[in-house]
């Protein structure tokens, strides 16, 4: 059986403007690879409800899981929660279990749970909460969409909360060969390996170091025997 699939939706004007560098995609890709869920698509959209709704419907309908980051904070432009609710035509309200988490968190800090902070307790009907051990404000899962914060430390904590609840497949294995030759020189060899091992992916990543052209060749797959065989054959062909 093939592995489950996933997409990621990164939400935020600050990402598209270049003001903030996104690191969440890199983290999620590594974690999904580890548990055998294949990340197949990533989109970035602005803080615009129509754009978020359209992207959620498209990605959630195409892939087994959709992970979102950003837009669930206390400010006016944090509109991800209501946008995801709208994508599934579900009502959204302040939920008492989410409110209680926030109340306990702010009480412990001697801060008021004001109306702005209470926005983070708005959860669509039918969703389950995603634990946030850092700042208490929960994410949520609605159907196959996992809605998480954009702050990297909180996003990573939420990913750690969600992944144990999902069924994965075979973890993706990889081996890398570094070749001191130009990519054009090794391309025919890589093509031959790709044809011989159709269940694997063979990627080439060129570099220049000290004026010398080289290529990192990466062989990936879920079957260790095939990966080992492909790398052994590739090494022999490159040496020859």
Average pLDDT over residues 116-132: 97
- Sign of the C-alpha dihedral computed for residues 176, 181, 184 and 185 taken in this order: negative
Residues 51 and 107 in one domain: yes
State which of 165, 181, 214 marks the end of a domain: 165
- Looking at the fold, whether 44 and 150 belong to one and the same domain comes out as yes
CATH number at residue 231: 3.30.70.600
Q: Which of the listed residues 165, 183, 217 is the one where a domain comes to its end?
A: 165
The tally of domains found in the chain comes to 2
110 Cβ neighbours under 8 A, 6+ residues apart: none
Say yes or no: 154 and 179 in one domain: no
Q: Do 121 and 221 share a structural domain?
A: no
Q: Residue 36 belongs to a domain with what CATH number?
A: 3.40.980.10
User: Both 184 and 159 in a single domain?
Assistant: no
Given this model, what pLDDT does residue 2 score?
85
Enclosing domain of residue 189: 173-239
Measured between alpha carbons, how far apart are the two ends of the chain, in Å? 36
Q: 11: which 2 tokens?
A: 């939400």
29 and 86 belong to one structural domain: yes
Please, what is the average pLDDT of the chain?
95
Q: Is the pLDDT of residue 87 over 90?
A: yes
CB 181 within 8 A of CB 98: no
pLDDT in tens, 7-59: 999 999 999 999 999 999 999 999 999 999 999 999 999 999 999 999 999 99
Handedness of CA 37, 41, 42, 45 (dihedral sign): negative
Q: How confident is the model at residue 74 (pLDDT cuts 50, 70, 90)?
A: very high
Q: Is the pLDDT of residue 240 over 80?
A: no
pLDDT of residue 140: 98
Contact status, residue 2 vs residue 172, Cβ threshold 8 Å: no
Same-domain status, 153 and 190: no
Residues 6+ apart with CB under 8 A from 30: none
Q: Is a pLDDT exceeding 90 seen at residue 86? A: yes
- Considering the domain architecture, whether residues 101 and 198 belong to the same structural domain is answered as no
Q: pLDDT tens digits, residue range 143-198?
A: 999 999 999 999 999 999 999 999 999 888 999 999 999 999 999 999 999 999 99
Tell me, yes or no, whether 15 and 87 share the same domain.
Answer: yes
In this predicted structure, what is the pLDDT of residue 166? Answer: 95
Left, alpha or beta for 216 (phi > 0: left; psi -120 to 50: alpha)? beta
Average pLDDT score over residue span 217-231: 94
Region for residue 18 given its phi and psi (left: phi exceeds 0; alpha: psi -120 to 50; beta: otherwise): left
Q: What percent of the chain has pLDDT over 70?
A: 99
* Residues of the chain above pLDDT 90, percent: 92
CA distance 91 to 93: 7
Q: Does residue 126 sit in the same domain as residue 232?
A: no
Among 123, 143, 165, identify where a domain stops.
Answer: 165
Specify whether the CB–CB gap between 45 and 51 falls below 8 A: yes
Instruction: Clarify whether residues 57 and 149 are in a common domain.
Output: yes
pLDDT of 1 > 80? The answer is no
Q: How far apart are CA 50 and CA 209, in angstroms?
A: 46
155 plus 62 within the same structural domain: yes
- Split at pLDDT 50, 70, 90, the class of 102 is very high
Alpha-carbon span 109 to 98, nearest angstrom: 17
């Amino acid at each position: 059986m093939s592995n489950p699939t996933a997409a990621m939706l990164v939400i935020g004007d600050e990402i598209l403007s270049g003001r903030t560098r996104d690191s969440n995609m890199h983290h999620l890709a590594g974690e999904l690879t580890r548990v055998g869920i294949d990340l197949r698509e990533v989109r970035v959209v602005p803080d615009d409800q129509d754009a978020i709704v359209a992207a959620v419907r498209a990605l959630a309908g195409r892939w087994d899981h959709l992970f979102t980051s950003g837009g669930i904070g206390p400010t006016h432009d944090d509109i991800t929660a209501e946008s995801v609710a709208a994508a599934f035509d579900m009502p959204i309200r302040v939920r008492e279990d989410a409110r209680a988490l926030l109340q306990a968190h702010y009480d412990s800090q001697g801060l008021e749970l004001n109306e702005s902070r209470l926005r983070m307790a708005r959860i669509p009907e039918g969703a389950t909460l995603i634990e946030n051990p850092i700042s208490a404000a929960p994410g949520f899962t609605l159907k196959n969409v996992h809605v998480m914060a954009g702050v990297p430390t909180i996003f990573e904590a939420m990913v750690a909360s969600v992944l144990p609840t999902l069924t994965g497949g075979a973890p993706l294995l990889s081996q890398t060969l570094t070749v001191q030759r130009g990519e054009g020189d090794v391309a025919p060899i890589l093509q031959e390996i790709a044809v011989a091992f159709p269940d694997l992916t063979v990627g080439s990543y060129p570099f220049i170091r000290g004026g010398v052209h080289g290529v990192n060749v990466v062989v990936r797959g879920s079957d260790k025997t095939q990966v080992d065989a492909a790398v052994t054959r590739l090494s022999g062909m490159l040496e020859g």
